[in-house]
């Protein structure tokens, strides 16, 4: 996904590319060569659409190796007149970050949940307040060092620099959740191919993040085994004719299943396809619910649940999830950002759109524009670093 700021300073999506992913399993790289080829093909397709050359990118991470923990830090306010400044906020977040994690894990994100000033709770932004003691509650997301390094290695070997690693469910939530849902308490369920990622918001901040090692590819696998068809045929049946909510399926509808090894194709009832898909999807939703109930956070979900990711496109997914969760469920797709409206407004692109939005927020309009300009100049003129610095000084001074 490629985004750029237009002349009015508004971020637009200008390029989308996709390629089959064969080197990943359950969110973890299992074949570096296959993964880097997938990355290169997807970026090349996005480059052709946008007319831009990609040098750097933000990369999404997911899988069972990602874990979230809540922590708290406390510092004494050191500013003049006991006024809380940015330095105090930075120090208290750093204090909250100081948790013991194994050597094979690294911190991906530290997200402030709430601040406490002298026992006054529920403060979103403590800057310029007067106080003696400042506390911060944060959500820390950690990931496996080796998994992250393998992912970055694939991106680097494909010819790009990884500017940052971002949790995929965090990116998806940025693209599809509203501020009201986050404040009220909302569950995001990102139904991917190999994993189902979960992020729980309460009072506007993440409180719980986890990953279930089952996804849409398991549904395809079940169809392949039970209907005796190859995986690609099972995937096509799932996408074009499948439903994971049996009550929605018309008893009189049939789908043609291709024969294997020279056998003739045969017709089977759509109800049979649905009866294979529903139990697996129900299992995924029950695993999600069990994970959240184990840590005692289910009571925080007051604003319902949002399904996103490619698996959310399955007909009946929202109805089945609503029955399992017992709360209102909707399917979430990215809101319009200009550019190619229809191309990316699908739950399957939620994570990619979220990565663009979070990356743009980290860089800001000026930095993003300078990067794009620098990339264009280096491509067209082959300038060295010294020449580019001279150009920059001419432009701004």
Q: How does pLDDT run across 28-58, given as a tens digit for each residue? A: 888 999 999 999 999 999 999 999 999 999 9
Do residues 118 and 97 share a domain? Answer: yes
* DSSP state for residue 254 in the 8-state scheme: E
Structure tokens at 7: 């002349």
Mean pLDDT calculated for residue range 308-312: 94
- Residue pair 318/330 in contact (Cβ under 8 Å)? The answer is yes
Q: Is the pLDDT of residue 265 over 80?
A: yes
pLDDT for position 80: 79
Q: How far apart are the first and last CA of the chain?
A: 34
pLDDT for position 383: 47
CATH at residue 110 = 3.30.1490.110
Do residues 45 and 80 share a domain? Answer: no
Q: Is residue 80 part of a domain?
A: yes
Do residues 46 and 97 share a domain? Answer: no
pLDDT for position 385: 56
Q: Is residue 271 part of a domain?
A: yes
Give the residue from 144, 175, 202 where a domain finishes: 144
Q: Is residue 190 part of a domain?
A: no
Q: Is the pLDDT of residue 250 over 50?
A: yes
Do residues 114 and 49 share a domain? Answer: no
pLDDT digits (tens, 9 = 90+) for 270-296: 999 999 999 999 999 999 999 999 999
Q: Is residue 308 part of a domain?
A: no
Do residues 45 and 72 share a domain? Answer: no
Do residues 110 and 44 share a domain? Answer: no
pLDDT for position 397: 46
Do residues 12 and 75 share a domain? Answer: no
CATH at residue 234 = 3.30.420.40
Q: Is the pLDDT of residue 336 over 90?
A: no
pLDDT for position 62: 86
Mean pLDDT calculated for residue range 118-127: 92
Beta bridge pairs of residue 4: 12
Residue with tokens 């009072």: 203
- Residue pair 359/185 in contact (Cβ under 8 Å)? The answer is no
Q: Is the pLDDT of residue 379 over 80?
A: no
Q: Is residue 22 part of a domain?
A: yes
pLDDT for position 365: 65
Mean pLDDT calculated for residue range 9-37: 88
Give the residue from 264, 280, 296 where a domain finishes: 280
Q: Cα(238)–Cα(228) distance, rounded to whole angstroms?
A: 14
pLDDT for position 66: 87
pLDDT digits (tens, 9 = 90+) for 159-184: 999 999 999 999 999 999 999 999 99
Q: Is the pLDDT of residue 384 over 60?
A: no
pLDDT for position 372: 62
Do residues 23 and 73 share a domain? Answer: no
Do residues 48 and 103 share a domain? Answer: no
Q: Could you tell me which of 221, 238, 219 has the C-alpha nearest to residue 279?
A: 219
Mean pLDDT calculated for residue range 138-150: 92
pLDDT for position 153: 92
pLDDT for position 170: 95
SS (H, E, C) 136-191: EEEEEEEEEHHHHHHHHHHHHHCCCEEEEEEEHHHHHHHHHCCHHHHHHCEEEEEE
Give the residue from 127, 144, 161 where a domain finishes: 144
Q: Is the pLDDT of residue 382 over 60?
A: no
pLDDT digits (tens, 9 = 90+) for 66-103: 889 999 999 999 877 899 999 999 999 999 999 999 89
State how many domains the chain has. 3
% of residues, the chain, pLDDT over 90:
66
108 Cβ contact partners less than 8 Å away, ≥ 6 residues apart: 61, 66, 141, 142, 143, 148, 165, 166, 167
Q: pLDDT band at residue 388, thresholds of 50, 70 and 90?
A: low
Q: Is residue 102 part of a domain?
A: yes
Domain that holds residue 4: 1-54+334-397
Q: Is residue 287 part of a domain?
A: no
Q: Is residue 352 part of a domain?
A: yes
% of residues, the chain, pLDDT over 70:
91
Q: Whole-number mean pLDDT of the chain?
A: 88
Do residues 360 and 381 share a domain? Answer: yes
Q: Cα(371)–Cα(384) distance, rounded to whole angstroms?
A: 15
Q: Cα(370)–Cα(274) distance, rounded to whole angstroms?
A: 51
Do residues 46 and 95 share a domain? Answer: no
Q: pLDDT band at residue 373, thresholds of 50, 70 and 90?
A: low
């Amino acid at each position: 996904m490629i985004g750029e700021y237009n002349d009015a300073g508004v971020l637009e999506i200008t390029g989308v590319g996709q390629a089959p992913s064969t080197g990943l399993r359950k969110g973890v790289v299992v074949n570096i060569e296959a993964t880097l080829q997938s990355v290169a093909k997807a970026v090349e397709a996005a480059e052709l659409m946008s007319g831009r050359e990609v040098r750097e990118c933000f990369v999404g991470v997911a899988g069972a190796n990602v874990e979230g923990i809540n922590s708290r830090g406390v510092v004494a306010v050191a500013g003049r007149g006991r006024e809380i400044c940015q330095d105090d906020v930075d120090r208290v977040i750093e204090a909250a970050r100081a948790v013991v994690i194994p050597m094979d894990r690294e911190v991906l994100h530290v997200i402030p949940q709430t601040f406490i000033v002298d026992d006054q709770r529920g403060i979103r932004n403590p800057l310029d307040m007067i106080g003696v003691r400042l506390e911060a509650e944060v959500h820390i997301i950690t990931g496996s060092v080796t998994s992250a390094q393998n992912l970055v290695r694939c991106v680097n070997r494909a010819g790009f620099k990884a500017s940052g690693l971002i949790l995929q469910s965090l990116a998806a939530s940025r693209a599809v959740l509203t501020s009201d849902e986050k404040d009220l308490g909302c569950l995001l369920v990102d139904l991917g191919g190999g994993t189902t990622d979960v992020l729980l918001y309460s009072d506007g901040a993440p409180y719980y993040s986890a990953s279930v090692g089952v996804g849409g590819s398991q549904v395809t696998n079940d169809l392949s085994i039970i209907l005796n068809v190859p995986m690609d045929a099972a995937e096509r049946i799932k996408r074009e004719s499948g439903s994971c909510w049996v009550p929605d399926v018309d008893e009189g509808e049939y789908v043609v299943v291709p024969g294997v090894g020279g056998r003739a194709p045969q017709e089977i009832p759509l109800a049979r396809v649905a009866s294979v898909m529903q139990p697996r999807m129900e299992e995924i939703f029950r695993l999600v619910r069990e994970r959240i109930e184990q840590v005692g956070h289910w009571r925080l979900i007051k604003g319902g649940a949002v399904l996103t990711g490619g698996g959310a496109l399955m007909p009946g997914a929202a109805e089945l999830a609503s029955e399992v969760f017992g709360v209102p469920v909707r399917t979430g797709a990215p809101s319009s950002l200009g550019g190619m409206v229809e191309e990316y407004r699908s739950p399957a692109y939620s994570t990619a759109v979220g990565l663009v939005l979070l990356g743009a927020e980290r860089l800001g309009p000026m930095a993003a524009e300078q990067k794009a300009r620098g990339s264009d100049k280096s491509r067209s003129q082959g300038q060295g670093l010294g020449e580019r610095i001279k150009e920059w000084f001419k432009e701004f001074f």
